[in-house]
Amino acid sequence: MEFNGINFDTYFKNYPDNNGFFGKYGGAYINDDLKKAMEEITEAYFTICKSAKFINELRRIRKDFQGRPTPISHLERLSESLGNVQLYVKREDLNHSGAHKLNHCMGEALLAKYMGKKKVIAETGAGQHGVALATAAAYFGLECDIYMGTVDIAKQAPNVARMKILGANVVEVKEGLQTLKEAVDAAFAAYARDYKDSIYCIGSVLGPHPFPMMVRDFQSVVGIEAREQFMDMTGELPDAVVACVGGGSNAMGIFSGFLNDPVDIYGVEPLGRGEKLGDHAASLKYGEEGIMHGFNSIMLKDENGEPAPVYSVASGLDYPSSGPEHAFLHDLGRVKYDVVSDDETIDAFFTLSRLEGIIPAIESSHAVAYGMKLAKEMGKGSILINLSGRGDKDMDYIIEKYGIR
Ligand SMILES: *Cc1c(COP(=O)(O)O)cnc(C)c1O
């Protein structure tokens, strides 16, 4: 399929290019030490990951350990309550450890094993990426250092406990504001010192090349499964596909299965409390081109051109940029990016729980909220929503802040 001059039949071969660019976005804006380390990972990825042995091992792990394929569920009662449009969810909440993140963490950790590395390193904010990577490290018998700001350690006690139970070493970062940004800096510094024996595992389609490509490729299992399952269930393609976008990994996973189809694709960003800078984290909707954390993308900037403070009720969507491929698909118009507010999200959280018996993660509730709005607008047809994770982690917070609705 051709769209705005781009041939999507050969899209995955051409994007990113050899230097990691999706159009003008992406690349690797890092110092020479890290550049060397990233080149080593790129080379290893292109050889090891195309080998039958690696692919077969990853396939077996997905089936026997992660519980893939995850099903698609038809949301009959929710659909009926909204009119004639049929809504479906891809159940990444049923992936082991409760979200899509394990899809790329198992891939990254398996790559680490094949490269002969002893340790995986990462940063985490809300702790979700840390837990997924700690799970993968335990499975493969790798050491695992997770860098986390003091403030986040205090806020995310259950995830800190999970990481420690899984055998990870949670490294407290006491610099600056003691949150995600400082944790990223500390983790990258530790990696630059130690890259012979370790590998840095980024938690979304972000960071320097090759990560946006690699994480997309590992997540594409979601889109491949979903397309086939949806065709099996209904005999046709969905009219629309919807996913929430933080860094953008669950979205790239499901979108990649439908980019070459006549399907409308929607990425949903968090509007938080409103349109004022600092009240949301909708980088693609309100941001501009810029470089941060080693890549060029669309980002939210403060008055000094630095990454702006952002807010969302969903800590997993709380990031001032998105992956470079999303910036590319945004400019191209192949994916439409739109927003939903905290309030719409909380409504969707309770609605899905009550009508379908599925408690969604707050992040995923953004996609559900948008799917519900879209269903009313469309009037007929079908919508497939990526339910990126389960909401157990969010229940205490929601009951404390919003009560039972
Ligand atoms: C981390 C997380 C997200 C956001 O990350 P993406 O890279 O944008 O997918 C979404 N949903 C859940 C459940 C998460 O844990």
Per-residue pLDDT tens digits for 164-222 = 999 999 999 999 888 888 898 899 999 999 889 999 999 999 999 999 999 999 999 99
Helices (H), 115-210: 128-140, 150-155, 157-165, 180-193
Q: How confident is the model at residue 405 (pLDDT cuts 50, 70, 90)?
A: confident
**What one-character-per-residue DSSP string does 261-289 give?**
SS-EEEEEEEEET-SSTTS---HHHH-EE
- Supply the residue whose CA is at minimum distance from atom 5 of ligand 1: 246
For the chain, give every residue range classified as CATH 3.40.50.1100: 17-62+101-212, 67-99+220-402
Per-residue pLDDT tens digits for 86-102 = 999 999 999 999 999 99
- Supply the residue whose CA is at minimum distance from atom 10 of ligand 1: 363
Asked if pLDDT for residue 235 goes beyond 90, the answer is yes
Asked if pLDDT for residue 72 goes beyond 90, the answer is yes
CA dihedral sign, ordered 384, 386, 390, 391: negative
Domain 67-99+220-402 classification at class level: alpha beta
Atom index in ligand 1 nearest the CA of residue 205 equals 7
Tell me the best of 123, 128, 214, 293 to mutate to test the pocket of ligand 1, counting ligand atoms within 8 Å of each CB and taking the most: 128
Q: Which residues contact 251 (CB under 8 A, 6 or more apart)?
A: 243, 244, 245, 267, 326, 386
AA letter at 103: N
How far does the centroid of ligand 1 lie from the alpha carbon of residue 73, in Å? Answer: 20
Ligand 1 pocket residues where CB is under 6 Å: 99, 101, 128, 204, 244-251, 316-317, 361, 363-364, 388-389
Q: Give the number of other Cβ atoms within 10 Å of residue 168's Cβ.
A: 25
- Which residues are tagged catalytic? 101, 123, 388
CA dihedral sign, ordered 129, 135, 137, 139: negative
CATH 3.40.640.10 fits 17-62+101-212, yes or no: no
Asked if pLDDT for residue 334 goes beyond 90, the answer is yes
